[in-house]
Structure 1
Amino acid sequence: MTELAIDDAVAGEREAAPEPDDAPFARVCALTELPGEDPAVGRYRGTIEPTWTIGHKLHGGTMVAGSAAAASRRLRAAAPELAGMFPISASTDFLGAPEAGEVEYEVRIRKTGRQICLIDTGLVQGGRTLVHTVFTFGHLNDQAPAYAADNAGDMPAEPTADAVFYTPDSPMGQLVHVSEGASVALDPRWARFLEQEQGEPRLRLWIRAREGDQQDPDVAAYFAMMAGDMSPPVPTNMGRFGWAPTVQMTTYLRRRPAPGWLRVIATAHEIGERMFDEDQLVLDSTGAVVAQSRQLALIPR
């Protein structure tokens, strides 16, 4: 979840910043194997740069994606015959708040099978496990679905002319530093808070990886997992601004995304006094479902 500080100038930002042709998200997934005393535990060093923060906090979806890369690395090393599998489900508990910079991952394979594998991954910093994720590995969808709902509705595949881009000099861009490593734009038709109004607890946005990050199919898939945690907290539309700590999050990856923009549609079933739920659906440029997430979070105070 994100921490939002709303400013009247947000609604006036409409221009996208130039995009360098690089692959900043690939660096989140680039890992170095570390020696270890326990052969049952794979250990890897990685770096999550300040780009992937919201306010002063590491973005939760990015930490899940980095953990997924470590789990994949371990499974492919331990069981090369299962290299075609990919993390299709992630159940994540946030035990602490890591700082941007160097992190370590400890990976334990719990079960291997021809259809399903189970892997535990801990993101470690300062000798403490701060993020714990249980991954289910399987085979991604690679064919057209037998049934698909009209998930996109009236949301176009690319940002509209009135889309509110997160630019480096805008209040949103200064807070959501993820926009320094990807292009992000809110749909103002759902984001009523941009006009200092209140509306339903729902938000829509577009996010696009840099060209270099789209060229590697694995990195593009991890990016889609990250995108499933990209929306601001939906209570924002009800005037509830501030940090909404995630209690627990589950992420599903259905398929590798087609090149281009991803659409993120965030909704809620109930906004309570202390907690709320938020579902985020990620569609690629073809309209296919590539990722989903559901999280339980605390209402901003």
Structure 2
Amino acid sequence: MIALDRAWLAANPLPPYDVATDKNARGRVLVAGGSERVPGALRLTGEAALRTGAGKVQLATVERAALALGVVTPEAALFELPANDAGELGSEAGQALAALLERCDALVLGPGMGIDADAAPMLDAILAGQGNGIALLLDAAMLAVVGSRADAIVARSGATVLTPHPGEMAKMMDEDPERIVREAAAVACEAAARFGAVVALKGPETHVATPDGIVLHYTGGGPGLATGGSGDVLAGAIGGLLARGAAPLVATGWGVWLHGEAGRRLAERMGTIGFLGRELAPEIPALMNSV
């Protein structure tokens, strides 16, 4: 295993940007997810993508949450997607979302979605659609339906990143939850090989694995990160870096480190626990500058 620390970051820098760059050249992120029960999750993901340097963020969520989300995220464009009777994204949302893919460089799919979302037909529409070449990050409810779609995910021409916690990994891999905790690095490698993706297995310590067996080990940002919205921020940070053109391992490694170190900084200033998920993203730009 390789330590995910400042030395690794320095040896694996983020893509440079020109002083004359415009917002489209800095990368376009489309974030899709949320629900009527968790209408603000995409605000966290979208802000994190902007804080990591993406130039343009678009948010797509259930119709009844879109207006309020746009008001609290004035930097982002908003798209309404069909909802089902449970207030989650419905089966028709996938086709509507697929039509937006030509406008983005990276799609972050899943933050804020619950178990009642029609995740399977949404993912099928994305895998079958014109977004085959863009970077794709799958999170939250989307991870529960990837297991039977491994071949289609492997066949993608664009980068794929999966960000499960141990419970989601157990569903993805049909694996014993105790083994996932006990042998986290090995299971992350197995998942990366199965899906042809970079996999970030989250927990008190995070393991980032590639299909060819590279494993980065981050020792953790502290227990304060175990809070609502924290994972949404991580997904946005990685998505923003993917949109900027970072290779999937570089984007995921940097995203994990930035998210964890933001937690460390807040813990030092505010206390070990009690800071909020929405307080993580503002720490990111200074952390990127510090490397």
**TM-score, length-scaled by structure 1:** 0.25
Greater helix share, structure number: 2
Task: Tell which structure's C-alpha radius of gyration is larger.
Answer: 1
Greater strand share, structure number: 1
